Amino acid sequence: MLAFSAAAAVALGVSARPDWDFLELHVGVFEPSRITVQNPTTLKNRGERAVYAREGPTASVLVAQEASGERNLIINARGNASDAPTDMTTQVLLAQVPLLVAPRTDDVFVVGWGSGVTVGSALASPVRHVTAAEIEPAVIEASRFFLHVNHDPLRDPRLRLYEDDARHILLASDDAYDVIISEPPHPWAMGVANIFTQDFYRLVDRRLRDDGVFAQWLQKYQISLDTYRSILAALQSVFPEVVAFNLGASMDSVLIGSRRPLRLDVAELDRRWNGPELGRVGLHATEDFLARFLLGPGAVRALVEGARVNTDNNMYVEFNGPRDMVLAVGADTFSAVEQRVSPVEEILADPRVLLGSRERLARFIAALRRLEKPTERYERLLATLG
């Protein structure tokens, strides 16, 4: 009888135990902005609910849905993707920017899966094949909660998806690509720093065709200027031509690396314009894209002068990145980059097509205003056109 009572008590205890609060398990106490001052285990936004949670082999993955219906993909307690407008712009443009500037776009490789939006956007473009590598199976599984924005890329026969480390896939195969896109988590995240190194960029270079381009996402927040310059220097040490474009917000950018100078033909951009994809994130004309041009090759070279190059041997970013995140640095980084913003003509094959057309220049100025960027110089040019 005693044994029965004990067993019953255990069973009752198990059945009466409250469900795990997956939101609190992913609170991310290392990031003060996500918790309340009074109680570090209470999320600020209690309107969220967990719609997916899984402890995978390499990461803990959560999809949280807010009261508004907005969904966030959280990996190891840090937001990595969402269907919010700003993140959608970043995720779509990570595919569309390199596909606009690359001479060829037949074969594309994407490092990381996230919500699947970037891969889906690439597949919604004139490409022949897309190869993607994602080390965490739970991330791929979680992406089904973003089918409303990612075009369901897993159903596309042009996709080849590896559940493996991207460096391993690139090392193990001699396949060549026209475009390689890297959209990893933040550099300070666990196990990520080795895809921001000179050694990784050399591997990427070996897998690109002669006229191929490489696209690297990099933020300008929670990162010190030294760490930012170290990553940029690693990239520029391999690719002599590096330019940058702003993405969903001025705090996110995509770095484009190439062996050859990138000079964009405005008419060719018009011809290749992917209206449905770019339109869904608020870009409706070539001028909207050009307004996001941030740094030319000269500005990049000036910014990295004297910087310590991030390598597999020194892992400078792996050791400095977490400190940057905790100290919430970034103001100096943002300021240093914004002070070096390059004029758009640096990337144009014939600047007169844009700057000599009253209609185009007016659209360009309007796009700059929407991004809250300076327009005075271009307004003076517009005035001279009569």
* pLDDT tens-digit series, residues 98-124: 999 999 999 999 999 999 999 999 999
Residue 291: closest CA among 282, 299, 304: 282
Give the lowest-confidence range in 84-98, 267-281, 311-325, 335-349: 311-325
92 shares its domain with 75: no
339 shares its domain with 365: no
Expressed as residue numbers, the domain containing 45 is 14-79
CATH number at residue 280: 3.40.50.150
Q: Can you tell me the distance from the alpha carbon of 167 to that of 348, in angstroms, rounded to the nearest whole number? A: 33
Q: What is the pLDDT of residue 31?
A: 63
Q: What is the pLDDT of residue 13?
A: 40
67 shares its domain with 43: yes
Q: Can you tell me the distance from the alpha carbon of 300 to that of 237, in angstroms, rounded to the nearest whole number? A: 11
Q: What is the mean pLDDT of the chain?
A: 90
> Coil, strand, or helix at residue 254?
strand
Question: Do residues 154 and 116 lie in contact, with contact meaning Cβ atoms separated by under 8 Å?
Answer: yes
361 shares its domain with 304: no
Triad 61, 189, 116: Cα angle to 5°: 50
Q: How confident is the model at residue 28 (pLDDT cuts 50, 70, 90)?
A: low
3 state SS for 304-345: HCCCCCCCCCCCHHHHHHHHHHHHCCCHHHHHHHHCCCCCHH
Q: Can you tell me the distance from the alpha carbon of 85 to that of 281, in angstroms, rounded to the nearest whole number? A: 7
Q: Can you tell me the distance from the alpha carbon of 85 to that of 280, in angstroms, rounded to the nearest whole number? A: 9
The Cα-based distances of 29 to 25, 34, 41, 351, 382 in angstroms read: 10, 8, 7, 49, 51
**Higher confidence at residue 171 or residue 251?**
171
State in Å, rounded, how far the first CA of the chain is from the last one: 99
Q: What is the pLDDT of residue 19?
A: 67
8, part of any domain: no
34 shares its domain with 145: no
DSSP 119-161: HHHHHTSS-SEEEEE-S-HHHHHHGGGGHHHH--GGG-TTEEE
163, part of any domain: yes
4, part of any domain: no
The encoded tokens of residue 110 equal: 């994407």
48, part of any domain: yes
277, part of any domain: yes
5, part of any domain: no
The encoded tokens of residue 261 equal: 């100078």
89 shares its domain with 51: no
Q: What is the pLDDT of residue 250?
A: 72
364 shares its domain with 238: no
What 8-state DSSP symbol labels residue 194?
A: G
Q: What is the pLDDT of residue 362?
A: 98
Domain end point (choices 79, 99, 117): 79
171 shares its domain with 227: yes
Q: What is the pLDDT of residue 322?
A: 81
Q: Is pLDDT above 60 for 359?
A: yes
Sheet with strand 49-55: strands edge to edge: 49-55, 60-65, 71-75, 78-82
231 shares its domain with 274: yes
245 shares its domain with 197: yes
Per DSSP (E only), the strands in the chain are 49-55, 60-65, 71-75, 78-82, 107-111, 129-133, 159-162, 177-182, 208-219, 241-246, 252-258, 293-295
Q: Can you tell me the distance from the alpha carbon of 5 to that of 27, in angstroms, rounded to the nearest whole number? A: 38
253, part of any domain: yes
Q: Can you tell me the distance from the alpha carbon of 287 to that of 299, in angstroms, rounded to the nearest whole number? A: 21
365 shares its domain with 283: no
Q: What is the pLDDT of residue 33?
A: 57
| Number of domains present in the structure of the chain | 3
6, part of any domain: no
25 shares its domain with 115: no
Read off the pLDDT of residues 31-61 as tens digits, 9 standing for 90 and up.
Answer: 655 555 555 555 555 678 999 999 999 999 9
Domain end point (choices 32, 61, 79): 79
Phi (first) and psi of residue 274, to 5 degrees: -95, 85
Widest CA span of the chain, in angstroms?
99
Read off the pLDDT of residues 320-354 as tens digits, 9 standing for 90 and up.
Answer: 888 887 776 778 999 999 999 999 999 999 999 99
pTM: 0.91
Specify the amino acid at residue 227. Answer: T
